[in-house]
Structure 1
Amino acid sequence: MMYYHDNMKKGSVNNGRLERKIQLGLVLLLAILLLALCLRIADFSMFKKSPFFNNLFLDSLLYDETAQNIAKGDLLGEGPFYTGGPLYQYVLGLIYWTLGRNFNIVFALQILLGVFSCFLIYLIAKRVFNQTVGLIACFMASAYSMLIFYDTKLLTTSLGITLLLLFSFFAIKASESHKLRDWILTGAFLGLGSLARPNFMIFMIPAIFWIVFTYFNKKTYLFKVIPAFIISFFLMLMPIMIRNYIVLNEFVLISAVGGGVLYIANNPKADGANSVANALGRGVKGPLEQIKEGKKHADSVYGYETTYSEMSNYWAKAALNFIISQPKRFFWLMQKKFALYWNEVEVPHDFDYYFFKHNGWTLGFPLFSFILIAPLALGGIFLSLENWRKTLFIYMIIASHFLSLLIFYVYSRIRLPVVPFLIIMAAFCVWRLYKLALSRKLIKLAKTCTIIVLAFLFVRLPVVRTSFATGHHMVASAYLRNNEFDKAIEKFKESIRVDSGIAHTHIVLGKVYNAKGDLDKSIYQFEEAQKIEPNNYVVLCALSRLYLKKGMLEKAKEYAEHSIRSYSGLAESHYLLGLVFIKKGGYRKAEQCFKEALAINPKHKDTRFSMAFTLSELGEKQKAKLLYEKLLEEPSPSPKAAYNLAYIHGEEGNIDKAITLLKSIEDTYHDKYNLHRSMANLYMRKNLPELAELEYKKAERYKKR
């Protein structure tokens, strides 16, 4: 059997030459790791100057907020973990607790973690092949653009990759050392990796297959290793499983939203990347909002408040229904995901790599990227088949990761964990091609080069279009979180100029104009969004609200009804239609709308307030009073509810109760002029003209303002 060791020679090896070779290898390794460190520090220095450094969003914001709560002692938190996995949040929380919330420290540690990952790649490549391949792989990893890019982002990517490499290193080492300790560490690191990225659980399959393959003829040892591996794996998961049971009151392995993610990836509108489907709340800001919208929809379908597992099962069934009912569309989707996985384009999710590359000098260096690594890796796989037993584990890791993303979706950050293994195969390809050229094995050299060229052409296929629109949108969002509205508006406009077909950009810009009080510009942006996504209920509800503000009741009614036709399970749509009927004086119709809204969401405060007002106008004062009183019993009671309840008490002659209620909202009610006039009128009815005079004077002061 042939093994890939370039220092194997017949007879004895000159000890002096071997020692010099080892020393040279060590010097080269240290130089490469220093390069990895310098490139990551340089990228961090550029990132620190960007508006994103302190203005977090999406997953980064979720991790940071959860970590702050953990650092304050809230170890359990609320609700399910999002798909990113909980480990990074707890590690971040530990850093905040011990060293404070200092992003410089966090990124310094992540950079060191990235350099350590390069070292692990060297160790794996050296163990599977030889030291030369290890050094080449380490060099490729140290200067691989996306590894550098994500090592300086507040995301779970770096931690997940390091744990996956540790799992792989010990799995390969254990198959040679046959030590039970190494297999236990293999299971432990896979368990920790799964807590960082739950989709890493798929590597249980190649791991168990690898154990069986290693000990196929040693059944006694096999029955020791597999239980030890599985137990160590689940021991790492156990704290999170216990936490989930305490918080959610149900058995959940890691994340309870896998079904929702499966549906996002497999639905009639899915595009192979992470596109949030309408039913899960298109246009929402982040992961927690997606979970809430997904659960709200499941609750409306089942007619009761579902558990998170029930919600996940609902969306998993919806994904399965899509696959069964639309096999052609699903087959097209699989082809798209296949092409995306092996394509040169780094599909953005949280951060747009190309935007950062365009605006920063570090990523502009001639760094390694997928377009070079992937074809070389496929060439390396072909060349390594002659000794497939040695490289089988790496094949299985690549294949398992590829299949897992076919089930879900493909974008740059979620594809990145497979890159270290592609780098190892690419490094082997470079070394082996050199050896083939030296030995003049031209036929094999030609075959390999043909595979590389064909793979290169396939990787370059125009599967997805990229632009700086996402990057401009991200910058605008950062300005928005810093309350720099004018800068945000300009960046949103720039994003639209680059690509006017992104509904979410129009939605957010519409919200900004609404906050600034420019209703016409806000309406224009939402109507542009509706042209792109005609049945997006977020857009339809926003337009209904805006036209209500302008007093254009027919337009408001039109959009509210359209939203209900689009998705009848949203309380907001029925509520808005009810407001239209109130404005028109149709209180019975309004009452029916509010009943429908409350049937969907009984806790909807605005609907409950409007229902109380409607009942009062219909003369059902006692029912209205009960609703207002319940609203006032809740945390953060509504001042408007107190004002309206005071009005009813005044009509009924309960003047003291009315005055007490009005006094309780003197500091919080928005319309101070009418508040003090109402109090003055009540004092006059009590025959207290001096107090009434004081209230009239207060009212006049507010009128002048």
Structure 2
Amino acid sequence: MSHERKRAESKCATGAKARRRAFNLAAFGAILALALLFKVFYLWSYSHSSPYFAIARLDSGVYVDWAREINRDGRLGTEVFYQAPLYPYFLSVVFSIFGESFPAVTVIQLLMGAGIVCLVHLVGKRAYGERAGLISAALCLAYAPFTMLETKILTTATEMFLGLGSMYLLVRAEQERSIGCWAAGGAVLGLAVICRPNYLPVVPLVILILLARHRHRPREAIPAIFAVGLIPCLIVGVVAARNYAVGRDFVPISSSAGVTFAQGNNAMARGAMVVLPGFSGSSPNQRREETLIAEKEMGRPLKPSETSAFWFRRAFEFIREHPGQYLRLLLDKVLLVFNNRELGNNYLMSVEEALTPALKLAFIPFGFIMAWAVVGLVPLIRPGAPRAAALLATFLGTFAMLVLFYVSTRFRMPLATAAVIMAGGGIATFLDSLGNARRASLILAAAAALFIVSLPPFLPLNETQLMRGDGEYWANLAVAFEKQGQCERALRASEKAIAINPESYRNHAKKTELLDASHADKNDVIAWALQVAEKFPGECSAHLALADLYRAAGKNGEAIRSYRKAVALRPREPEPYLRLGALLGNGGDHRAARAVLAEGLKVGPADIRLQYDYAVSCAMTGDREEALKWLREVASREPGYARSRELLRQLDAGPPESGTPGGRRPGP
């Protein structure tokens, strides 16, 4: 009877286990189906609402241009890598297969996003159990930046997929003691490093954790340490060898590390990226600008590694001279890591939500994830912890990189992949403790306290800094709409940028351009441009824009006055002289035009346009020899200048007739 009872209990337990397995499989299938449905719906909405679906700007534009160069000039390239190289090479392969199709890239990255949900579930299940894996996958779906950044031509989706792939393989290798998984995990981790160097600290941290766990039997850890330590180093070594081959310079991955470190560690920094003095803030121009500044200060040409070292030294000087301020900065970065505010880097979450409201369906804030991730950290570090060294190392290593450099939503993504897994573990730990009221209360109180720290009042950046930054992203959106010919939407985005940051001249100037391009009433455009010039009286370009509008409307007197204000503001720049001289000459006042253009030639003696217009003015005032002298100068420097050749023929034939010989430049 006892034997039969045991058999019945065993059969019942087996059946219960099978039912649990079926339930868990069905639950994960539902989460994955929901993830795919949400991503497809978001992509459809995004393709109809956002200009970024069809154009690439800022860092996205840099990656696209880089991929084009790879396909055009060959895989090796000719310069030391400025940024981590894996993603543009991936992009070049996609372009070679599908053509330069941005939608193809987006679809591939959204499929990676579905893979990310799967990998989060698999790692969570191995580290904490089946329930934790399901919770982690659900959190992954409910955190909006994952899906938002998958639709951008950026490294984010690729780096997260590789980082999670290495994490899964390494956790599996540790639990199953599989040499093949150790080797595969090390290889994928190496690829993640050359896609996003934020993963670099994961390598030594995994080794340290393995040594600590095998301190009594260190020989058991040797194969794992060999695979994790050597294989990523070999992959990075291939990149370093390539950099040395093309540039005769030792740069392990990319040469932008120094300036990136300086952008997050300087006297103006509060935890987010700061545009350093002398920089425009434009991604495509950053490499040239950092090199020019460094070479000017050093007084000699610099290799990329030397330029990077220059900016590292600049940041370390700040740290050494202001230790108290630096410690406060580190605390600010920690607070920013936890904070619910999504800080932009090329793209801003609040702008993306305004463009594509479907994104708001993913509503979990990052502070909620981090609060429960810290709870989930405890089971990973206590005695008898599950074997998940790669998960712990990824969380700690990517957290450290944010604190060392700076914080933004995009740069927080490698940490977010580990955090959602650990948050699932933390929530599962809390659910398991519900039978113990005291323990459950302590866990809930700790999570609540951490979540409170993530709320906006604890944000180290002040409202002025945040609003200024938000305005820049709306201004970028206006430019993107303008490139697509959607002037009305560009104008609305520009007005939003002005409302957020009314002290930005760039935003006001862009609205002037857009009003002019949208065929608005010219008197209204002039009235707006006049307001801009009065609000920013020291901006030369504001007066130039107003003068151009006056000239187009036939109000030459007002135009001349505005051009003269521009000349007074920028007496060392040739452009105001050129425009004023052209207007005076077209109005028949050739002597005044000649005098203005002569002043312009003093500050821009090599400007072909000034030389030609001055020659025209000389011809119209009867000074044929002076006109011939300058026309011959133009012809010698630019033989293809057709108007100059025509005027030379006229003057060689004899004195000019009345009218404008050769055709005066009508001005901009």
Both proteins in one fold, TM over 0.5: yes
**Residues in 2 aligned to 1:680 and 1:101: alpha-carbon distance in whole angstroms:** 50
Tell me the equivalent position of 2:272. Answer: 273
Q: Structure 2: which amino acid aligns with 1:409?
A: Y
Tell me the equivalent position of 2:650. Answer: 680
Q: Note the residue ranges of structure 1 that are not aligned, 5 or more in a row.
A: 1-9, 531-538, 562-574, 585-609, 618-627, 632-637, 686-691
Tell me the equivalent position of 2:113. Answer: 114
Choose the corresponding residue for 2:319, options 312, 317, 323. 323
Give SS of 2:201's match: helix
Tell me the equivalent position of 2:70. Answer: 70
Tell me the equivalent position of 1:368. Answer: 364
RMSD: 4.3
Give SS of 2:573's match: helix
Q: Cα distance, 1:323 vs. partner? A: 1.3
Q: Cα distance, 1:455 vs. partner? A: 1.0
Choose 410-419 or 142-151, whichever is displaced more. Answer: 142-151
Would the alpha carbon gap of residues 409 and 661 (structure 1) be closer, same or farther in structure 2, given more than 3 Å must change? closer
Q: Cα distance, 1:195 vs. partner? A: 1.3
Choose the corresponding residue for 1:478, options 477, 480, 504. 480
Tell me the equivalent position of 1:453. Answer: 448
Q: Cα distance, 1:203 vs. partner? A: 1.3
Identity of aligned residues (%): 21
Tell me the equivalent position of 1:500. Answer: 502
Tell me the equivalent position of 2:296. Answer: 300
Q: Retained in 2: the 8 A contact 1:175–1:211?
A: no
For CA contacts below 8 A with separation 6 or more, give which structure has more relative contact order. 2
**Residues in 2 aligned to 1:11 and 1:611: alpha-carbon distance in whole angstroms:** 100
**Residues in 1 aligned to 2:530 and 2:218: alpha-carbon distance in whole angstroms:** 71
Q: Retained in 2: the 8 A contact 1:510–1:526?
A: no
**Residues in 2 aligned to 1:577 and 1:330: alpha-carbon distance in whole angstroms:** 44
1:617-636 maps to which residues of 2 (within 5 A)?
none
**Residues in 1 aligned to 2:636 and 2:127: alpha-carbon distance in whole angstroms:** 78
Would the alpha carbon gap of residues 551 and 261 (structure 1) be closer, same or farther in structure 2, given more than 3 Å must change? farther
Tell me the equivalent position of 1:592. Answer: none
**Residues in 1 aligned to 2:238 and 2:504: alpha-carbon distance in whole angstroms:** 41
Would the alpha carbon gap of residues 491 and 366 (structure 1) be closer, same or farther in structure 2, given more than 3 Å must change? closer
Tell me the equivalent position of 2:397. Answer: 400
Tell me the equivalent position of 2:432. Answer: 435
Give SS of 1:14's match: helix
Q: Structure 1: which amino acid aligns with 2:34?
A: L
Q: Note the residue ranges of structure 2 that are not aligned, 5 or more in a row.
A: 1-8, 549-559, 582-597, 619-623
Tell me the equivalent position of 1:208. Answer: 207
TM-score, scaled relative to structure 2: 0.79
Would the alpha carbon gap of residues 36 and 677 (structure 1) be closer, same or farther in structure 2, given more than 3 Å must change? same
Q: Retained in 2: the 8 A contact 1:382–1:448?
A: no
Deviations 1:400-449 (A, max 9, x none): 22221111110111112212222222212222222222xx3111111111
Tell me the equivalent position of 1:588. Answer: none
Q: Retained in 1: the 8 A contact 2:141–2:362?
A: no
**Residues in 1 aligned to 2:141 and 2:177: alpha-carbon distance in whole angstroms:** 31
Q: Cα distance, 1:660 vs. partner? A: 11
**Residues in 1 aligned to 2:258 and 2:152: alpha-carbon distance in whole angstroms:** 27
Deviations 1:607-652 (A, max 9, x none): xxx99965999xxxxxxxxxx7xx9xxxxxx6777999999xx969
TM-score, scaled relative to structure 1: 0.76
Choose the corresponding residue for 1:332, options 328, 353, 363. 328
Q: Retained in 1: the 8 A contact 2:87–2:155?
A: yes
1:532-571 maps to which residues of 2 (within 5 A)?
none
Give SS of 1:372's match: helix
Give SS of 2:20's match: helix
Q: Cα distance, 1:341 vs. partner? A: 0.6
Q: Cα distance, 1:485 vs. partner? A: 5.2
Q: Structure 2: which amino acid aligns with 1:354?
A: S
1:8-157 maps to which residues of 2 (within 5 A)?
14-49=13-48, 50-77=50-77, 79-83=79-83, 85-157=84-156
Q: Cα distance, 1:342 vs. partner? A: 0.6
Would the alpha carbon gap of residues 198 and 578 (structure 1) be closer, same or farther in structure 2, given more than 3 Å must change? same
Q: Cα distance, 1:519 vs. partner? A: 9.6
1:170-249 maps to which residues of 2 (within 5 A)?
170-249=169-248
Choose the corresponding residue for 1:414, options 408, 411, 415. 411
Would the alpha carbon gap of residues 17 and 659 (structure 1) be closer, same or farther in structure 2, given more than 3 Å must change? same
**Residues in 1 aligned to 2:637 and 2:416: alpha-carbon distance in whole angstroms:** 62
**Residues in 1 aligned to 2:34 and 2:183: alpha-carbon distance in whole angstroms:** 33
Q: Structure 2: which amino acid aligns with 1:182?
A: C
Q: Cα distance, 1:226 vs. partner? A: 3.1
Would the alpha carbon gap of residues 616 and 217 (structure 1) be closer, same or farther in structure 2, given more than 3 Å must change? closer
Q: Cα distance, 1:319 vs. partner? A: 0.8
Would the alpha carbon gap of residues 171 and 615 (structure 1) be closer, same or farther in structure 2, given more than 3 Å must change? closer
Q: Cα distance, 1:541 vs. partner? A: 8.1
